[in-house]
């Protein structure tokens, strides 16, 4: 057991799968000798060589086009798009090409690839480099969408993504790269489509993802110590497939639901979870589900304003306290 950073967990997860399977290849901008713009691929070039770890031109379309061709002809590529915002540049591949290849070929071709990307705000990169785009991806049939919050989940879910026969979007939160967590020795393999209850509780359910998980946990401790409210916190981890059983079982126990998401409010993933709970667990609810989100605006340039628009532990505490009448 060792304590490693989220960043080093990415390196370990990729290395584990490349060492295990010679068909796994890795490509992206500055990922080889430079070790990646976020230093999340350091050492991979030296370990696996230039045939399996390849720098690409600055062309998101070229990266995903090459990855799709490699996947359809027998390899298992991991492709890095440096910032998730750049999905907009290559969205035809993400929305129209590799998610549909197996369906349009009547199952004759597979497209087992992983698209890794730096996602999310809080690192002062501005409105075009700080978006959370998980809602862009989860609406597309044929894609699986994963967003780990801890180093352990990074390794295990990345392994599951690489071994999956379908395309997976793997969203790494940029503001988590320096955070640390314990990761066991040896091979680690997790399961896509599974949420985790990271804090048991009885008074309300908080559903969060990526950076918002740690903020929800801080808020839950404050609510318990200062207001006597015992919150259950669920780390969604995987938006597609979505672990509705864990969420619905928690709501059946606590009878209240709060979602905490970094996305702009309109069409965020929390709205889908609220809709599912309303459909399948309406009579378990003692009050309306509440979404805690960013406003529907581009992220501000000013540091202090960026911090204000993102959900904070303080806003989570205040929203839940007021909603529960405490």
Active site residues: 129
CA–CA dist 32, 307 (Å, integer) = 33
Task: List residues bridging with 118 in a β-sheet.
Answer: 83, 172
CA–CA dist 78, 23 (Å, integer) = 11
């Amino acid at each position: 057991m060792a304590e490693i950073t989220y960043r080093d967990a990415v390196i370990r997860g990729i290395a584990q799968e490349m060492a295990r399977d010679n068909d796994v290849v890795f490509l992206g901008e500055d990922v080889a000798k430079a070790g990646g713009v976020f230093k999340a691929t350091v050492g991979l070039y030296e370990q696996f060589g230039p045939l399996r770890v390849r720098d690409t031109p600055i062309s998101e379309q070229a990266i995903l086009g090459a990855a799709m061709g490699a996947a359809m002809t027998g390899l298992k590529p991991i492709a890095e798009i440096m910032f998730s915002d750049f999905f907009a540049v290559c969205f035809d591949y993400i929305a129209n090409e590799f998610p549909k290849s197996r369906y349009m070929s009547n199952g004759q071709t597979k497209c087992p690839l992983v698209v890794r990307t730096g996602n999310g705000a809080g690192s002062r990169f501005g409105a075009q480099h700080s978006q959370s785009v998980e809602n862009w991806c989860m609406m597309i049939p044929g894609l699986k969408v994963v967003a780990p919050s801890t180093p352990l989940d990074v390794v295990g879910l990345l392994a599951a993504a690489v071994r999956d026969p379908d395309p997976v979007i793997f969203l790494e939160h940029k503001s988590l790269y320096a955070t640390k967590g314990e990761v066991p020795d040896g091979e680690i393999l997790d399961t896509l489509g599974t949420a985790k209850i990271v804090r048991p509780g009885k008074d309300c359910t908080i559903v969060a993802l990526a950076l918002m998980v740690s903020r929800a946990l801080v808020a839950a401790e404050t609510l318990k110590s200062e207001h006597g409210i015992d919150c259950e916190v669920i780390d969604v981890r995987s938006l597609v497939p979505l672990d509705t059983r864990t969420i619905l079982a928690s709501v059946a126990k606590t009878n209240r639901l709060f979602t905490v998401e970094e996305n702009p409010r309109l069409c965020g993933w929390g709205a889908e979870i609220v809709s599912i709970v309303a459909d399948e667990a309406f009579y378990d609810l003692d009050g309306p589900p509440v979404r805690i989100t960013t406003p529907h605006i581009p992220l501000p340039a000013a540091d202090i304003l960026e911090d204000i628009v993102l959900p904070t532990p303080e806003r989570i505490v205040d929203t839940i306290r007021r909603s529960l009448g405490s």
